[in-house]
Structure 1
Amino acid sequence: MSISPQQLRDLAARAEALATEVRALCDSAPAAAAERDPLQAARHAAGWLDRGGEDLQRAAGDLARIRSLLERRCGIPWGVCPEHGNTLSYSVNVTTCRVCGRTWERDRRGQPCQERVTWKVTDRAGTVTTMCDGHVLGARATTQGATFTRLDAELSQP
């Protein structure tokens, strides 16, 4: 089962509403000495619900950010072999990797890359480009002084 950011936001709203309801009940209760301990416990529980709602809101934001990164496509104006990079040849509506022999029934080389983004490349000037595994092979060979960061490593950082 997949959880969406909206589902987490909905849970957070429910936790916040429940915390509000608990506080309202506590505030409307008579202040008899015998009831103070249970009311204090209820107010404490409302605080936990507030923190839980905040945590759920943060989780929803993190999930949305991760999903948006994982769904992005490379988009560099030419295609590559996802495993070997710029090793494609094209003839009669078939693109072939010259290294592994894999084929595609279209001009993969002449179309924007549709592979999933897996790298962030920052050049010496600070320009950031996101790209797939295949394109990063070529970038490593031709770009001096760049920093290469796997997006899965970036996602695991707080």
Structure 2
Amino acid sequence: MTLTPADLRTLASRAEALTAEVRAIVAGAQERDSLAAAGHAADWLARGAEDLLRAAADLARLQAQPCGMPWAVCPEHGNTLASSAGVSTCRVCRRTWTYGRPGEPCREPVAWKVIDRAGTETRMCDGHVLGARAATEGATFVRLIAGEG
């Protein structure tokens, strides 16, 4: 079985529900003072839920697939890079990268699934989608959930 960020988010949701349930039981019990251990358990469950959400985000980052399109782009402005002496610079925001030279595949994470009119599916990053929206008539653009890449 392959663990996904969605699996971890589901577990976190279950831990949050258990936390709420334990806290409600403790709050409504007449023996509240003798249920201090249950209150502490609810705190541990809440911390566990937070840790699971952090782990889901970490796993999503680790599983992110690079775009791989045969040219690099600025993730915010698209095909606006100029390269010189091994450094690529966005002509709009002036952000720089030490990768992205012509012919080098894009390293930005996949964030979109683009399906053209013929049904061909291509996965690409935010920056490449900017250009694809302008150049691809009739295509469908689907935003992917983090870690779905």
TM-score (normalised: structure 2): 0.55
Verify: 1:141 aligned to 2:139, yes or no.
no
Q: Which amino acid aligns with 1:123?
A: D
1:98 CA drift (Å): 0.2
Q: Which amino acid aligns with 1:93?
A: G
Would you say the 8 A contact 1:76–1:113 is kept in 2? Answer: yes
Write the distance in 1 (CA, Å) between the matches of 2:90 and 2:113.
24
Structure 1 runs (4+) greater than 4 angstroms displaced: 66-70
Write the distance in 2 (CA, Å) between the matches of 1:136 and 1:152.
15
CA-to-aligned-CA distance 1:102-145 (integer Å, 9 cap, x gap) = 11134444310011100000000000000000000000000000
Would you say the 8 A contact 1:121–1:128 is kept in 2? Answer: yes
Q: What is the aligned-residue RMSD (CA, Å)?
A: 2.9
Higher helix share: 1
Verify: 1:105 aligned to 2:124, yes or no.
no
Write the distance in 1 (CA, Å) between the matches of 2:121 and 2:110.
13
Would you say the 8 A contact 2:115–2:121 is kept in 1? Answer: yes
Would you say the 8 A contact 1:95–1:106 is kept in 2? Answer: yes
SS across alignment from 1:152:
coil
Q: Which runs of 5+ in 1 are unaligned?
A: 9-62
Q: Which protein, 1 or 2, shows the higher relative CO under an 8 Å CA cutoff with sep ≥ 6? A: 2
Q: Which amino acid aligns with 2:110?
A: V
Residue identity over aligned pairs, in percent, reads 62
Give the structure 1 partner of residue 121 of structure 2. Answer: 128
Q: Which amino acid aligns with 1:124?
A: R
Give the structure 2 partner of residue 5 of structure 1. Answer: 3
If you compute each CA radius of gyration, which structure gives the higher value, 1 or 2?
1
Give the structure 2 partner of residue 26 of structure 1. Answer: none
Verify: 1:92 aligned to 2:85, yes or no.
yes
1:79 CA drift (Å): 0.4
Give the structure 2 partner of residue 115 of structure 1. Answer: 108
Q: Which runs of 5+ in 2 are unaligned?
A: 8-55
